[in-house]
Each structure stands twice: as structure tokens, then as C-alpha cells.
Structure 1
Amino acid sequence: MEMERDKREENVQEAGLAERHGDTLHSEIDLADHHDATTDEVLEEEHIDYSHFTKHELANLVKDLAKEDNFKRVDNILREVKPLYDDMREKEKAEALIKFIAAGGIEEDFEYKGDESDLVFDANLKLIRDRRTNHLRQQEERKNDNLRRKQELLEKIRELADSQNSDAQFEQFKELQKEWKGIGPVPSAQAKTLWANYHALVDRFYDNQSIYFELKELDRKRNLEAKVELCVRAEKLADVEIIKDAIRELNELHHEFKHIGPVPKDDKEVVWQRFKAASDAVYAKRDQYLQKLQQELHGNLDLKAKLSDDVQEYSTFDSDRIKEWNQKTKDILEIQKRWEVIGGLPRAKAKEVNKKFWGAFKAFFNNKNAFFKKLDEEREKNLQLKNELVEKAHALKESHDWEKTSNELKVLQQRWKEIGPVPEKFREKVFKDFKDACDYFFDQRRTQHGKIENEQADNLRQKEEICTILESHAAAGTAAPEVLKDLQDRFNAIGFVPRKDISTIRNRYHEAVDKFVSHIQGFSEDDKSKLLLENQLSDLKNDPMAERKIYQKEQAIRKKISKVENDIALWKNNLEFFSRSQNAESVRAEFNDKIKEAGDHLKQLKDQLKLLKTI
């Protein structure tokens, strides 16, 4: 019972010492803690407005954030970015649902999988959360471990302070102080009490070591020398050009200063005031820098406010001409470039000015989208008109009144040309239906003329002879590009053949050309492919529907190019994920081979597109 009472009294004494040392402890550490807590806020990076970013840009931004270790910055950005991205995704999902239902689907069967940007965004968002959770857990574990170690040190210091004097006691005490300094931060809830108890025990140790008074005074003098050296280093920071570097180093000096032991009482306030004065000089320079920065930001505010006013007229722009909309689009995009060149804004005004500018910007493009939506409605009406012409053409195609029906169909063809464009997805079908009806009638009329039949039969014979010549050159090994050019021109110059033989002679001609080109000596595969493409384009150029077929050929090549480019981009993105995987060398090699093969194919397609444009 007596031992327990002594222990309780001892704890009460320590608590009293901690309380009495509280004020002096704060005088050395509060200034550093205050400026350390506010430095990140006042020197924060320029605020960026993400509201005009595209989905792809936001996904790439989150992808970059997943590599950062500054989780405070990452969280600040995500608080702005995620709602914007979620809003875009929900709009796309709603549009996809509308299209799904319009195509005959049932809402309960609808499943939205998103696009590649969604996959990148979600994967990296999960990666950020996992990394942050792991970081916080490790940080909390380190702090708890540091608390445990420091509590163990406090017990050792208490035992040493209350033990009998010995020659090694002072050195043991210094080792414990050194170990204490080397331990990192502890949970904030215990930090203040822990520090107070530590300083109370340090003073108890010195007070109980009256025999070693001279050693104590010597140690205090050494501590004074160390603190004076920190004052000198702090005073030099006023000349550092980069403010952030100066503040960072000053915080480190504050950390060292508060871990150095006591100094002689007569020098305690003097050395602290000197260190504080050096710190205040750095903070004053920081404040001056921030004041200058604020002036620059207000200058930027004036420039962006002017652009915000200038862009307002675009929010009400209206026209019924595509050309004028395109010109206004160029103008507003030029204003956007000028806006983006200007630097940041004061945080208090940034949201208001950005909202005004981007509000007008979005209003313009919303109006533009509405205009083109109206165009789409007109194209729907055009589709209805052309479908009516298709019905009339089919009603006339069986007529044997050749002259009258010919004139009527020509009138329908003229009206067809006068009607504007129809929706892209119906363009091919409606044109084919109309053309088939007209072609059927005119084919029937042609069959009534024996002369035309004889000419077509003769044309067929001539084209067959050219096919035979091509085949013989291939068999004899005498195939040459100039020979093909001559035979190609002769073949295209020949007129129509009987309808029933069109497909047969065309197929035989193409097969003969393929065999001919394959037997040309000294030609690479690329040269042969190019020669075959030139032959096909020459054939298209002489087709009655040349313009349309060339356009279809171009669109087909463009679709292939787009698909290959998308495949390459996807494979490259997958490579980034595989780069973090173990035992994935074979997979990476496979994807690299795919990317190389696709790159070669992409070059061939682009060469074909260039050649097509020469027609």
C-alpha cells in the first residue's frame, strides 16, 4: 500500500511539472507548428478549373494522380473531378438508354458498360483509394509504435532520474535523449502530454544531479552553442530565393531547435528571441512574396474578367447557316486559347469568373448542338420525301410505256437531287432502293433494243480477250506494270456488256489482274498492293456511280484506320498495367508484336487513303 501511495504521489508530481513547463514549452514550438500548418495553404498551387475538361482528359488526370504520394492534394482534386466525371457518365448512360429503347429494346434489359475512359477512370480511382488506405494505416501504425517507444523511454528516463548517482549515469541520460529525438511523430492526442512529461523528467534529472552540476552546465553550454548555430542557419535563409525551399528548411530547423536540450537560464530567452527573429524575417519575406503573387493574380483577374465579358455575346448567337456557326466556333475557341494562356486567379474570385466564362462558352455549344439537332430533324423530313419517291419509282418500274415512263422517272430523279441530305444511317439503303427501281426499268428498256444487245455482246468478247492476254502474260512470266496500264485503259474504254455477264466478266478481269500483278518480277509486296489499288481505283473512276463508290471506299478505309488506331491505343494502355505485373514478359512481348503489326497495317491503310485522294 505504501509503494502504491508513493507511486501515485510521483505521478501527481510529474503532472504538476508538466503543467508548469507547458508555457515555456509552447514558446519554443508553437511558432513552428503554426507556420508549418499554414504554409501549405498559403503556398498552395494555382487552382485549376476542371469543368471544361473532356472525359478522356479527366481519366488521364486521375491516371496521373494515381502515381502521386501527396494524398492531400490528390483528395482536393478528386473532390472537384469526380462529380464532373460522374455527371458526364450519367448523361452518356441516359443517352445510350434512349437510343436502346428507340431501337426497340426494353429498359429492364439495358446494360451500360461505358467506354475505355470509364475503365481507366475507375481502375485508377480504386488504385488511389487502396494506396491512400494503405498509407494512412502505415502512418497510424508508425505513430502508435513511436508512442509506445517514447513511453518506454519515459520510464527509462524516470528510473535514471531517481537512481543513485554514478559516473555513467549522465552519458546514459544523453543516449536516451538522442534516442528520443530520433523517434518520429506520435498521435496528436498524446503529443502535448508526452512532450510535457518528457521536459518535466529532463528537468527532474538535472535537478537531482547536483553532484554533476558542472556537467549539467557544460551540457547546457553545448546546447546553447547548437542553438546559436541553428540561429545562424536560420538567419541565412532570408537570402534564399525560392520561398518554398526556405520555409521547408526553416521547419526542419524548428524541429532540431525544439529537440535540443536546455540552455543556461540567462541565455534561454536571448537565444529564443534571436531564433524567432530569424524565423520572422523568413516569414516576412514569404508574406511579401504572397503579396506580390496576389497582385499578379488580381492582374489576371482583370484580364479574365474582360474575356468573360467578351464571350457573353456568343451565348445568344443564332444563325441558320452552317458556315456562320463554324466561323463563330473558330472565334470562341480563339478566345479560349487566350483565356488559358493567362495564369491563375484569386481563390475568392476564381469560381465566379470561371462560372461566367464557361457558362457562356457552354451556352454557345449547347445552342450549336440544338441547331444541328434541328438539321437532323430536317434530314428526317428529307428521308420521308425520298421514301415517297422510292415508292413511286417502284410503282413505275414494271411499265412498258418506255418513253412516258422514262420521262416520269427522270422527273423523279431530278426531284431526288433537289431534296437535301438524309440521316447517314439511311443514306445507303434509301439510295439503293431508288436506284434499283430506276435501274430495273432502264435495264428492261435496254433489252428491247437488239443493237444494244449486239454491241454489248461484242464488248463482252473484247473484254474476254483482254482477260486472256492478262492470263497469258502471267503464265509466260512477261508481266510488267506498263503492260497492265495499257490493258487496263483498253478494258475501261470498252462499253457495257450484257447485264447477266457483268459480274462474271468483272470477276474474271479482277482475278486476271491479281494473277498478273503477282507474277511481276522485282516488285515488293507493297508495290504490288499499290499497283492493285491503282487498278481498282481506275475501275471505280470509270463506273457510272464512281463518285459514290469512291466515297464509300474512302469511308471504309477511314473506318479501318480508326479501328487500328483504337486497337494500338488500347494495347499500349494495357502494356502500362502489365508493366506492374510479375511474370508478364511473354504477354508484353505478344502485345508489342501486335502493336508493330498493327502499325505496319496502319501505314498501308494511310498510303491507300492518300492514293484515293488523288482521283
Structure 2
Amino acid sequence: MEDKENKVTENLETKETQEDVQPQAESTEEAKPQEAASAPAEEPEEPTEEVSAQSEKESAEGEATEEESDDHDDHDSEEQKLLETLDFHDPSKQELFDALKKFESVENMRVVDKALKEIRPHYDKIYDKEREAALEAFVAIEGNDSADFDFKGEAIDTEFFDLYEKLRSKKSKFFAQLEKTKDENLAKKEDLLERLRELVDGEESTASINALKELQNEWKSIGQVPGAHVKTLWANYNALIDRFYDHRSIYFELKELDRKKNLESKLELCAKAEALDELENLKDAIFQLNELHEEFKHIGPIPKDDQEPVWQRFKAASDKIYAKRKDYFEHLKKDLAENAEKKQALGDEASDFATFNSDRITEWNSKTKEILELQKRWDKIGGLPRDRAKDINKHFWSNFKQFFANKSAFFKTLEGQREENLKKKQELLAKAEELKESEEFDKTANELKKLQSQWREIGPVPEKFRNEVYKEFKAACDHFFERRRAKHNDRNKEFEVNLKKKEDICSALEAYINSETIELDQVYDLLDQYAAIGFVPRNAIKKMHARYDEITNKLIALEDLTDSQRSDLEMHVQVSKLKNSPHSGQKIHRKEGAIKRKISNIENDIATWKTNMEFFAASKNAEQLKDDFKDKIARAEQELEDLKKQLDVLNEI
């Protein structure tokens, strides 16, 4: 950039030197500097110097962006004070909103633009923090899916963004109208040049100088024109002014007075330009310098002897500011180049996300967090060079958008699955509603537990139905189990009474163990009473069974009992235990069947043995074999009698 500005300066100095010899002209007559030399005070070089000043301005600002040139207010004292109030230190949203409202009535759109750019980042920072906190609470605390998160913010957020968009729209319309106005101003100035040319080529009269002043005032009153036409317009305008004064030598004295006034004005501008070197804000200094250049070129010619010194003084002051700007843009270019490399790398990372695919929500959510972190890293990096910004932005954001497009397609498919899941859960809800009033508590409890297990295996349902269908299902289950708990409380009281009864019976049976005589009928009666008593508390079952078994085993082992009594007692004990066990009916039925099968087998054995005895031959050993078979038949018949007694006992139950 330094080489570029040096070249601009060399071109300006060369141009001024050339135009001292021959000013820019539109016709052969305009190209004759000797005519101006005939008048002592005539200085055709002065307008050309102002063209050079404009060229200097445009060349020096060639690398500045349009945003820089439009990014300043008009330095009106009240509006400047209003902008100075935007020096925030940890502001609240209300403070930022109140600050924004102050610019609602400001008409200077450059001031409004600067205010919008100052206020919005502070507000976005607070808003983004609130949104991240809400998202974290939504996912971590409430256990929701981040894809379902919808942050609506507060009422002040809506008011702030509405007002911001209103001011931004107003500003955009202003600058759009400004460009349109520039085109209109171009047409006006081109028309004015034609009128000025007619005046210059017309006959000399006393009224012509007044007509020229009017045209000059009209020229000054016309606003900005498109930058591409500025240099040509000014060159033609100044050349025509020079031709006018060249042709009207009778007004040289008046022109000399004007030039002295112009000299005073340009010296004031030189002083103002030199004072800009003290400003810390480089943007403000550049903007004010541009304004001074605009004023400098609108001031008319000055005495020839002062022309070069004044211009060199003004140019020297300008060069100091432009040198600072050159250093600023050198650093800026370097930073932008580094930013481009960083953002290009992030775009490459984002391309991996664009091809990501999965059938698991957790993996999509995990990838979403990763790409959002990637976006935060992108946002922290500054601007990009203009020539690379479009491609780099497209590279990153196209991959970014493709990821979320793929995610959206996945969740649309998932939504269809959730509708199916909703139907399944509604079916389970209907079954739970049917069972909640059931009196078969144990059976129904198992069925409801199966329904709950099936419920957990079914995937998620649409968000808007999730809480409602779950609450209804849970309410149906809770209703049944509350009824079951109430029933169990009543049963527990009954079980405690049963435990006391069984303990009393065990105590009564223990008394017979150490008694000298035992009344078996009373023992049988106690055993029957024990069997008739219902369940005891769960935590006492094992201890109660152990005590009962110990007592009955000791009773069966008493020496005073005959074998028949011992067998009967043992049978009663077994029957008592069967009666007192869970599913006693089934167990007794199985016991009865086993005894009947055993009776049948013994009867078959006895019949076989009796038949075999008839075939024994008369021999020494035949009688011995018959006696052995008779003993076996006698023992079998005794066992058969005992089994039939047991069967009779079981039949009596």
C-alpha cells in the first residue's frame, strides 16, 4: 500500500506541474494558458490544483470500504453527544433497549447506523447467554431433547428486535435513496456544465459574472454524485471556470479579491487538517479529512504565489493521516489473511458434518453440539478479505446447512416412528384402564408390571403427547397399586393374628414333648388347627416353619409311641404341612395320586407273589421260599394298609 500511495503522490505532483503549464480544457480555446498570463492576477492553475486534491482523496481512499466512508455521523453536536452515551460497561437489556429508543427520532442515518452497530452486539451477547442457559436447563435438568428446544425469550427481546429492524429498514431505505439521489445529482451537474459552457462561450456582459456566481452556487448546492464520475465532472467544471475568467479580463480585479478570501478559507482548512493528527480515533480523522478535502475543492482559486505552498501544507497534513491509515490497513490485511486461513480450515471440518448419518438420536445430538461449537469458533474469528469472503463463507455455511438438512430429514422419519409408538402406548393405556379396578391383586399386579416393562421398551412418542399419555398410564397403574397396598395392609393385620395363633399352638405341642403321657387325639386336633390357620407375615415364615418342624420331629421321635401311632402321627404332620403350604390343594392332589399309584403297585406285587407261590415244587427249599414270600406279602399288606389309611386322611381334607 505504501508503494501505491507514493505512486499516487508522484502522480499528483506530476499532474500539478503539467497543469501549471496547460490546464485541462474542453476546447481549443480552453487549452491556451498564454491568454490567462495577460492578466496579472489570473491563475488558471488553481482549479486544476483542486482536481489534484480530489484525485489525492480518491486515490488515498481507494482501499477503504464503502462501509468506512458511510460509517460516520455528521458531527452535529447533539447527535455526537448522543453517540457518546453508547459507551457501555456491562449493560442490561433494558439499558440497551432504552439507548436504542433514543435514536428513533434521529434523522441522520449515518448516526443511526453507527448506533445500531454499537448497541446490537451487546444485546446479542446477553441474549445468546440467556438462550444457552435455557437450552442447558431444557436438556440437562428437564431431560429433554435439544432438537425440541424453542427459545422465545422475554417481551423486551421482541420489542428490541422489532425496533432494531424498524431502524435498520429506515437506514437501508435512506442509503438506497442516497444512491438514487447521486444519479439524479449527476444528471443535474451534467446539465449545469452545459449551461456553464453556453455562458463561457457567450458574449461578455456585466451580468455574466452574476450568472457565473449563480451557477457556482447551484453547483455547490448539488449533492454527491457516483464516485466514477467525480473526477471528470470536476475537471470539466474547473476548466470552464478558468476559460470564463480568461475571457473576461475586466473582472480580474474582482477575482483577485475573491482569491484573497479563498486564501484565508484554505489556510483555515490547513490548520484544521493539521489538528486531525491529534485525534486518537483514526476513522473519525479520515472522515473529517475527507470533509475538509470536499470543502477545499469547493473553494475558488487563490493567488498564484500562494497556490503551491498552501497545497503542499494541506497535502502534508493529509499525508500524515493517510500514513496512519496505511499502517492500519497493512495490519488489517495481515489479520484478514490469517482469518481466511482459519475459516477455510473450519469449512473443511464442516464438510465432515455434511456427510454424517446415523439412526441414533444421541449421536445426532452429539454431532449437533460439535458443529455448534465449530460455529462459535467461526464467529470468534474476524472478517475476511473481500476477494475471498464469498467462497469461504459459502464453503462453511453450505456444509453447515447440509448437516441440519440431513438432521431434519432424520427427525421427520423419526416422527413417523413416534406416531407408531404413540399407538402402541395408547393400547397399553387402554389395558391398564381395564385392569385398574381388578380384585385379583396378585395376578393383576404381575400383568401391570408386564405392561410397564413393555411401556419402557417402546420408544419416544411425539412431544405434544408425551406427558399426557404417560400421566394417564401412570395414574391407572398408581390407582391399582394404591388399592393393592390398602388390601395388603388389611392382610398384614390378619397375618399378625395368624402368627400369634400358630405360636400358641407350637407352645401347646411343645408341652407334650416333656409330658409323661401324650394324648394323640389332642395332638391331631392341634395339628389340624395349625393347618387351618392362614398365612403369617413374610418375615416370620421361615422362623415359624423351622419351629414347627423341630416340634413335630421331636413328637414323632417319642419312644412311648407304637409304630402304628408313629406312622399315623407322621402322616398327620405331613398333611398339616401340606395344608399350610402355598398351593396346598395342588400338592394334596399330587400326594393323593402318588399314594394311589403306590397302592396299585403293591397290590400288583402281592397278586404276583401269590401266583408264583402256587408254582413252587415240593422240595426241600420250596417251603423256605414260600415262607419268604409270605413274609414279603405280609409286609406289603401292612404297608398297603398304612397307605390306605393315609389316603383316607387325605380324602377327609
**TM-score range relative to shorter protein:** 0.3 to 0.5
Identify which of structures 1 and 2 has the higher relative contact order when contacts are C-alpha pairs closer than 8 Å and 6+ apart.
Answer: 2
Query: Which has the larger Rg?
Result: 2
TM-score normalized by structure 1? 0.44
